[in-house]
A and B are shown apart, each in its own frame.
Chain A
Amino acid sequence: MSERTAPAAGEPGALYGYLVEFDKVDELLVGARAVRDAGYTRWDAHTPFVIHGLDAAMGVKKTVLPYLVFGAGLTGTVGGIALQWWTNAVDYPYLISGKPLFSLPANIPVAFETTILFAALTALVAMLALNGLPRLYHPLFTNRAFKRATDDRFFISIEAADPLFDRSATRELLESLSGRTVEVIEEA
Chain B
Amino acid sequence: MNEDKSNDIFIFPKWTWVLRPAVAIGAAGGLLYAAVVVTFGFSPWATDVGYAPVQPVPYSHALHVGQLGMDCRYCHSAVETTAHAAVPPTQTCMNCHSMIRAASEKLIPVRESYATGMPVEWVKVHDLPDYVYFNHSAHVRRGVGCVSCHGRIDTMEVVTQVEPLSMGWCLRCHREPERHLRPLEFVTQLDWVPGEDQLALGRRLREQNDINPPQDCSTCHR
Listed in ascending order, the chain A residues whose CB lies under 8 Å from chain B are 132-137, 141-142, 144, 147-148, 151, 188
Q: Which residue of B lies closest to A95 (CB)?
A: B216
Task: Identify which of A136, A144, A151, A188 contacts B4 (C-beta below 8 A).
Answer: A144
Known: A137-B14, A151-B2, A188-B14. A142 touches B9 (CB 8 A): yes
* A141 and B11 contact, CB distance less than 8 A: yes
Q: Is B12's beta carbon under 8 Å from chain A?
A: yes
Most chain A CB within a 10 A radius of its CB, from B11, B13, B17, B23: B11
Q: Is B101's beta carbon under 8 Å from chain A?
A: no
Q: Is B222's beta carbon under 8 Å from chain A?
A: no
Task: Mark each residue of chain B from 1 to 19: 1 if its CB lies under 8 Å from any CB of chain A, else 0.
Answer: 0101000010111101101
* B2 and A141 contact, CB distance less than 8 A: no
| Chain A interface helix/strand/loop/mixed | loop
Q: Interface size (B, Cβ < 8 Å)?
A: 12
* B20 and A147 contact, CB distance less than 8 A: no
A-B contact count (CB 8 A): 31
Given contacts A134-B20, A137-B12, 8 further A-B contacts (CB under 8 A): A132-B20, A133-B20, A134-B19, A135-B20, A141-B9, A147-B2, A147-B4, A188-B11
Q: How far is the CA of A144 from the CA of B11 in the complex (A)?
A: 11
Question: What is the distance, in angstroms, from A131's C-beta to the closest C-beta of chain B?
Answer: 11
Known: A151-B2, A188-B14. A134 touches B9 (CB 8 A): no
* B16 and A136 contact, CB distance less than 8 A: yes
CB-defined A-B contacts under 8 Å, sample of 16: A133-B20, A134-B23, A135-B17, A135-B19, A136-B12, A136-B16, A136-B17, A136-B19, A137-B14, A137-B16, A137-B17, A141-B9, A141-B11, A141-B12, A142-B9, A144-B4
Question: What is the distance, in angstroms, from A31's C-beta to the closest C-beta of chain B?
Answer: 24
Q: Which residue of A lies closest to B9 (CB)?
A: A144
Q: Which residue of A lies closest to B22 (CB)?
A: A134
Instruction: Give the residues in chain A near B11, CB-CB below 8 Å.
Output: 137, 141-142, 188
Q: Which residue of A lies closest to B12 (CB)?
A: A136
Q: Which residue of A lies closest to B27 (CB)?
A: A125
Instruction: Give the residues in chain A near B4, CB-CB below 8 Å.
Output: 144, 147
Instruction: Give the residues in chain A near B14, CB-CB below 8 Å.
Output: 137, 188
Q: How far is the CA of A165 from the CA of B128 in the complex (A)?
A: 77
* B13 and A137 contact, CB distance less than 8 A: yes
Instruction: Give the residues in chain B near A136, CB-CB below 8 Å.
Output: 12, 16-17, 19
Instruction: Give the residues in chain B near A134, CB-CB below 8 Å.
Output: 19-20, 23
Q: How far is the CA of A67 from the CA of B67 in the complex (A)?
A: 71
Question: What is the distance, in angstroms, from A14's C-beta to the closest C-beta of chain B?
Answer: 12
Most chain B CB within a 10 A radius of its CB, from A135, A136, A147: A136
6 tightest A-B contacts by CB?
A136-B12, A136-B16, A137-B12, A141-B11, A137-B14, A134-B19
Most chain A CB within a 10 A radius of its CB, from B14, B17, B19: B14
Q: How far is the CA of A147 from the CA of B1 in the complex (A)?
A: 13
Instruction: Give the residues in chain B near A142, CB-CB below 8 Å.
Output: 9, 11
Within 8 A of A (CB), among B66-122: none
Instruction: Give the residues in chain A near B20, CB-CB below 8 Å.
Output: 132-135
Q: Which residue of A lies closest to B217 (CB)?
A: A94
Instruction: Give the residues in chain A near B9, CB-CB below 8 Å.
Output: 141-142, 144
Q: Which residue of A lies closest to B20 (CB)?
A: A134
